[in-house]
Amino acid sequence: MKYSAKTGDAPRYGRGTGIPNPIDVHVGKRIRMRRLFLGMNQETLANALGLTFQQVQKYEGGANRVSASRLSAMADILGVPISFFFGDLQLDDEKPTPAEQVSRERMERPETIELIRLYYAIPDENVRLQFLQMVKAVAAAGGPKQS
C-alpha cells in the first residue's frame, strides 16, 4: 500500500521508512543468485561496474535501488536479459504459501546455487544424469530432515 493523500496513510516501505521496497529486495536477490551461479564474487561485479563491493552488497540486499542503466549494465555483465531480475516476482496480492516461501529460500542459498553451477560444469551429460539419479536415491533414502 502506497501513501494516499486522501486517507493520509504512510507508506509501508521506501524512502524514510527504513524498510526497502520488496521489488528492490527481489531484484537484489536475483542479482546475487546470478552472480553466485557464475561463481563471481561481489568485488568482481563491482569492478566491472566501476563500483565498490559495498555498493553491490547494498544492491543485493535491496537497501539501495538499482537504476535502469545500472541494471542494464549488470544484465550485460551477468549474461542475462533485464527481465531475469524480475523473474518469479510476486506482487502484494500474490503472497507465496509458507511451503513456497521455504522452497524459494532454499533455492536462494549459496550452497544450492553452487551445487547447480557445479552440476552444469560436468561436461559429460551421462555423468550429470548419473549424478542426478544418485542424488535422487540419497534423498529418497530419507534420513534426518534439514531445512
Determine the pLDDT at residue 23. Answer: 87
Residue 87 is assigned to a structural domain of this protein: yes
Of the candidates 51, 90, 91, the one whose C-alpha atom is nearest the C-alpha of residue 74 is 51
Domain count of the chain?
1
Separation of alpha carbons 116 and 134, rounded Å:
15
* pLDDT score of 35 more than 50: yes
Residue 44 is assigned to a structural domain of this protein: yes
Residue 53 is assigned to a structural domain of this protein: yes
C-alpha cell at 143: 534420513
Average pLDDT value for residue range 36-65: 93
Separation of alpha carbons 139 and 133, rounded Å:
10
Residue 137 is assigned to a structural domain of this protein: no
Of the candidates 71, 135, 138, 147, the one whose C-alpha atom is nearest the C-alpha of residue 107 is 147
Residue 48 is assigned to a structural domain of this protein: yes
Residue 16 is assigned to a structural domain of this protein: no
Which tens digits make up the pLDDT trace of 53-109?
Answer: 999 999 998 889 999 999 999 999 999 999 999 887 776 666 777 887 788 788 888
Residue 102 is assigned to a structural domain of this protein: yes
Residue 145 is assigned to a structural domain of this protein: no
Between these two residues, 94 and 19, which has the higher pLDDT value?
19
- Phi then psi for 19, rounded to 5 degrees? -115, 120
Q: What is the CATH number of the domain that holds 92?
A: 1.10.260.40
Domain that holds residue 63: 22-108
C-alpha cell at 43: 568485488
